[in-house]
A and B are shown apart, each in its own frame.
Chain A
Amino acid sequence: MLRLRRLRFRGGVHPEGHKQSTTDREIEPLPLPARLYLPVQQHIGAPAEPLVKPGDYVLKGQLLARSAGAVSAPVHASTSGTVVAIEPFTAPHPSGLPVRTVILEPDGEERWAERSYDSDAFAMTPEEIAARVGAAGIVGMGGAAFPAAVKLNLGSRNTVHTLVINGGECEPYLTCDDRLMQERPREIIDGVRIMMRALHAHTARIAIEDNKPYAIAAMTAAAAACPDVHVTAVPTRYPMGSEKQMIQALTGLEVPAGKLSADVGIVVHNVATAHAVRNALRRDQALISRIVTVGGGAVDTPRNLEVPLGTLVSDLLEACGLKEEPARLLAGGPMMGMVLPHAQVPVVKGTNGIIALTAKEINAGEVRPCIRCARCVAACPCGLMPLEMASRVRSGDIDGAVSYGLGDCISCGSCSYVCPSNIPLVQYFNFAKGALANQREEQRKTEETRRLAAERNARLEAAKQQKANQQRRRSEAAESTESG
């Protein structure tokens, strides 16, 4: 195992970990709930297209909705049972807006669809591996939910020398990756090696924050047999789990602005994604369950649960008990997680935690004017000046905010975390990014209209010209016949 001291990214914060309550608890399976709610969009990209209809009996792992488009992911049945409806249902998103959802009533028999165990991942071509991962509906399980197959295909376009496996888990409260690494290190390493093959990568580096000694030990032992897979302890600092910051901490390399990490020869995947890849390739198992940390001060018994996708958050909270009414319910960690409108929303592929916070934990205070203390500048891992950006966003000067690096902001929230005036800086930036996207779209439309208009004018002009030419030629011809 390598230790890392000097190579670090700048900025960052040290939020209190709150991991002690679940880091020692084994992953527990959650019994099947009465109903499963499977949204057809659980990933970044185009929604999947349902292939079943109400009344259909489906088997565990059976394809329910197929991927539609280059960036998309299919959805599979988490268990066997009957499709009772396909209708809009609230998605785990702050808006509380409904999304097309396949509602499944389990029959409790857990009858699997046919699976083939005979395929050897290392006999497959990289393209075949990526295709299998895509067919299994695997998305980035660290929370971003980007279709994993798309990232596995990068090896054919770029020279990828290193696969970085993100075991940072820098968000407070979350321990699902920590437990996975402690309990299933060999499966993860197997998945890592399969992914290395898909990417043509020579080296894999598994980065784990140094506050997870048991995970580091388990992974190091499991990786001992593979000389090209290295486990590295990285300093515990938020946002270590961010792809760019992790690459910098591990290799000292920076991803140039506007480029992908693959452009510097590195692809990053989460540990849970590696685990899912292994299940897909070795056991022909689609992504139909995941490990979720249920935590936060309002939870009676914080646990790590292995839950079928589509289980309602309320079922998870019931299993763990609530000490008090949570002041805020989150999907994901408290730094970048999303507020849930209520607990009647399903667990999806990217749900790594359900965190129920008390008012005391949120520590919300009065918003005061900025005193330019520059703690946000010191905390920003991207080298931005959040206070300057915020003052421009507030005055409606989006271009000014862009000139201060709005486009380079990763919305990690370090600035808001440290702000003594409680200014919701990230919210400003997210708002401005939305406005900017709209502005660009408008601009694109205007330009498109202008281009079409110009083309049309040119066409009309050309037709007119042609007509005039014809006329001239005709009269010239007439003249010549007259004179001739």
Chain B
Amino acid sequence: MAQTEVIGGPHVRAPSSVPRTMALVLLASSPAAGLGLYLFGWPALNLLMVTIAAALLSETLSLWLMGKPVRSSLFDGSALLTAWLLALTLPPWAPWWIGALGGAFAILIGKQVFGGIGQNLFNPAMLARVALLISFPLEMTTWAQPHPLFAADSPDFLTALSITFGTAPHIDGMTSATVLGYVKTGFTQGHTLSQSLTGHFAPTASLLGDTNGSLGETSALLVVLGGLVLLQQRIITWQIPLAMLAAIAALSGLFHWIDPERYGGVLFHLLSGGALLGAFFIATDPVTSPSSPRGQLLFGAGCGALTWVIRTWGGYPEGVAFAVLLMNAVTPLIDHYLRPRVYGRTRRGEPLRPPAPRNETSDE
């Protein structure tokens, strides 16, 4: 009989694996991504492809340099997913080198210098996005308006190539800021919130995705749908998304109630920018988020609160990426202090005290 080295159980396993997990996240985010590709046309697809190619090349290179098995790591889907999620948060008509730099940065600096999969402290995609945002603020905040594929004003394949690879003249009429950007600029010009929002924020458009914004975050509906799939498949747990969205809703609701002309409302904050994509797909990254349910609640709430604070008082219109990175930094601390209560022990680790003996008479 074939004898293996295994001595202890379990000898059966749940049908889960790392590649399957990655594939499911990819699948769950594909409706939103698909819509993004449809709305923003060929240039968006080009950008996505460039980002993925850069990430996979960087992954191969670093695995090879470190003498690790290239094949099994490369095909575990993690590098592909990182690039995919990064691309979903980029301006869809960004030039090719944004995607290339971002993909390479995410893998090389965000992941492999920490020791590869599972070792990184920060979410690689968000690290890359923030690095790009700080280094190239113009390109990272130039947003294309939706030009659905096959519509009359949609760029054809060749025009798309020239947009992505930087040979086309800058087409001003096609681009504009996102809602969050309008509000931020509006305040600097002394406009009230309602003045800034007029004509720029329509909840239905944000729900369906017919608005300008990053590649994969414009349709709140599809993002939430993907998130629900992840929850149903137990890829993610409810704690992080719920806590994050609840924190955003609570803060924005409170401040909007105090001064509606200064602070955006709940719907505005939840449906704009990357709040939903962040809550379901970014902050839930297992590697960089806490392990215990209570830790995840705290982490999610922190992401939400920071997102709102940065959007409201920070220098940038959007704050999800910064918020997630900041909370990533405290994840080890959360994991250290917020452990689950061990069976038979108090939260502080002391053994429970046995219950007082029951005052029942013996049956003798």
Q: Say if the beta carbon of A290 comes within 8 Å of chain B.
A: no
Q: Do A161 and B358 have beta carbons less than 8 Å apart? A: yes
With A371-B117, A387-B291: A330-B11 Cβ-Cβ less than 8 Å: yes
B290 cross-chain contacts in A, Cβ below 8 A: 374
Measured CA separation A420–B233 after assembly (Å): 13
> Nearest chain-B residue to A9 (Cβ)?
B343
Which of the segments A62-70, A281-289, A339-347, A449-457 contacts the partner chain? A339-347
Per the CB 8 Å criterion, the residue count for chain B at the interface is: 55
Which of the segments A75-83, A410-418, A467-475 contacts the partner chain? A410-418
A45 cross-chain contacts in B, Cβ below 8 A: none
> Nearest chain-B residue to A326 (Cβ)?
B1
> Nearest chain-B residue to A18 (Cβ)?
B12
CB distance from A12 to the nearest CB of B (A): 12
CB distance from A376 to the nearest CB of B (A): 8
B289 cross-chain contacts in A, Cβ below 8 A: 372
Q: Say if the beta carbon of B169 comes within 8 Å of chain A.
A: no
Q: Which residues A273-317 have CB closer than 8 A to chain B?
A: none
Mark contacts of A16-54 with chain B using CB atoms, 8 A cut-off: 1 yes-contact digit, 0 otherwise. Answer: 100000000000000000000000000000000000000
Q: Say if the beta carbon of A395 comes within 8 Å of chain B.
A: no
Per the CB 8 Å criterion, the residue count for chain A at the interface is: 82
Residue with the greatest number of chain B CB neighbours at <10 A, chosen from A326, A377, A384, A417: A377
Measured CA separation A325–B69 after assembly (Å): 32
Q: Do A256 and B351 have beta carbons less than 8 Å apart? A: yes
A321 cross-chain contacts in B, Cβ below 8 A: none
Measured CA separation A430–B10 after assembly (Å): 13
B154 cross-chain contacts in A, Cβ below 8 A: none
Mark contacts of B110-126 with chain A using CB atoms, 8 A cut-off: 1 yes-contact digit, 0 otherwise. Answer: 00000011110000000
Measured CA separation A161–B354 after assembly (Å): 14
Measured CA separation A18–B85 after assembly (Å): 39
Q: Do B16 and A375 have beta carbons less than 8 Å apart? A: yes
A329 cross-chain contacts in B, Cβ below 8 A: 1
Q: Do B4 and A418 have beta carbons less than 8 Å apart? A: no
Q: Which residues B281-334 have CB closer than 8 A to chain A?
A: 286-293
Which of the segments B17-25, B37-45, B172-180, B200-208 contacts the partner chain? B17-25
Q: Return the contact of B21 from the options A257, A384, A420, A422 (Cβ within 8 A).
A: A420
Mark contacts of B328-353 with chain A using CB atoms, 8 A cut-off: 1 yes-contact digit, 0 otherwise. Answer: 00000001000111111100000111
Q: Say if the beta carbon of B152 comes within 8 Å of chain A.
A: no
Q: Say if the beta carbon of B362 comes within 8 Å of chain A.
A: yes
Which of the segments A113-121, A208-216, A362-370 contacts the partner chain? A362-370
Question: Taking chain A's interface residues, is the majority helix, strand, or loop, or is none over half, making it mixed?
Answer: loop
Q: Do B1 and A342 have beta carbons less than 8 Å apart? A: yes
Q: Do B344 and A254 have beta carbons less than 8 Å apart? A: yes
Q: Which residues A313-362 have CB closer than 8 A to chain B?
A: 325-330, 333-339, 341-343, 355, 357, 361-362
Mark contacts of B228-249 with chain A using CB atoms, 8 A cut-off: 1 yes-contact digit, 0 otherwise. Answer: 0000001001000000000000
Q: Return the contact of A336 from the options B9, B72, B363 (Cβ within 8 A).
A: B9
Q: Say if the beta carbon of A61 comes within 8 Å of chain B.
A: no
Measured CA separation A370–B10 after assembly (Å): 18
Q: Return the contact of A202 from the options B286, B293, B341, B363 (Cβ within 8 A).
A: B363
CB distance from B225 to the nearest CB of A (A): 22
Measured CA separation A269–B13 after assembly (Å): 28
Q: Do A334 and B9 have beta carbons less than 8 Å apart? A: yes
Measured CA separation A257–B346 after assembly (Å): 10
> Nearest chain-B residue to A429 (Cβ)?
B8
Q: Do B118 and A372 have beta carbons less than 8 Å apart? A: yes
CB distance from A193 to the nearest CB of B (A): 12
Mark contacts of B266-283 with chain A using CB atoms, 8 A cut-off: 1 yes-contact digit, 0 otherwise. Answer: 000000000000000000
Q: Do A374 and B8 have beta carbons less than 8 Å apart? A: no
Q: Do A373 and B12 have beta carbons less than 8 Å apart? A: no
Residue with the greatest number of chain B CB neighbours at <10 A, chosen from A337, A365, A411: A365
Q: Do B21 and A417 have beta carbons less than 8 Å apart? A: no
Q: Which residues B192-225 have CB closer than 8 A to chain A?
A: none
Q: Return the contact of B18 from the options A15, A257, A378, A420 (Cβ within 8 A).
A: A420
Q: Do B3 and A420 have beta carbons less than 8 Å apart? A: no
Q: Do A408 and B342 have beta carbons less than 8 Å apart? A: yes
Which of the segments A145-153, A179-187, A258-266 contacts the partner chain? A258-266
Q: Say if the beta carbon of A240 comes within 8 Å of chain B.
A: no
> Nearest chain-A residue to B336 (Cβ)?
A388
Q: Do A370 and B16 have beta carbons less than 8 Å apart? A: no
CB distance from A389 to the nearest CB of B (A): 11
Q: Do A265 and B357 have beta carbons less than 8 Å apart? A: yes
Q: Say if the beta carbon of A466 comes within 8 Å of chain B.
A: no
Q: Do B11 and A328 have beta carbons less than 8 Å apart? A: yes
Q: Do A426 and B10 have beta carbons less than 8 Å apart? A: yes
Q: Do A371 and B18 have beta carbons less than 8 Å apart? A: yes
Q: Say if the beta carbon of A100 comes within 8 Å of chain B.
A: no
Q: Say if the beta carbon of B6 comes within 8 Å of chain A.
A: yes
A413 cross-chain contacts in B, Cβ below 8 A: 8-10
B357 cross-chain contacts in A, Cβ below 8 A: 159, 265
Q: Do A337 and B7 have beta carbons less than 8 Å apart? A: no
Q: Say if the beta carbon of B76 comes within 8 Å of chain A.
A: yes
With A15-B12, A418-B16, A420-B18: A200-B364 Cβ-Cβ less than 8 Å: yes
Interface residues of A (CB under 8 A from B): 9-10, 13, 15-16, 94-95, 159, 161, 172, 200, 202, 244, 248, 253-259, 263-265, 325-330, 333-339, 341-343, 355, 357, 361-366, 368-375, 377-378, 380-385, 387-388, 404-405, 408, 411, 413, 416-422, 424, 426-427, 430
Besides A15-B14, A259-B354, A384-B342, 18 new A-B residue pairs in contact (Cβ under 8 A), listed by A number: A264-B354, A328-B11, A329-B1, A333-B9, A335-B12, A339-B4, A342-B1, A363-B13, A371-B21, A373-B21, A374-B286, A378-B293, A383-B343, A416-B9, A416-B10, A417-B14, A418-B16, A420-B16
26 contacts between A and B (CB under 8 A): A16-B12, A200-B363, A200-B364, A244-B344, A259-B351, A259-B354, A328-B4, A329-B1, A334-B10, A334-B12, A335-B11, A335-B12, A338-B8, A339-B7, A341-B3, A365-B17, A368-B117, A369-B117, A372-B287, A375-B234, A377-B291, A381-B343, A382-B344, A384-B340, A385-B340, A408-B344
State the 9 A-B residue pairs at the shortest beta-carbon distance, nearest first.
Answer: A413-B10, A374-B291, A94-B7, A257-B344, A373-B286, A257-B351, A256-B352, A383-B340, A334-B11
Interface residues of B (CB under 8 A from A): 1-4, 6-18, 20-21, 72, 76, 78, 116-119, 234, 237, 286-293, 335, 339-345, 351-355, 357-358, 360, 362-364
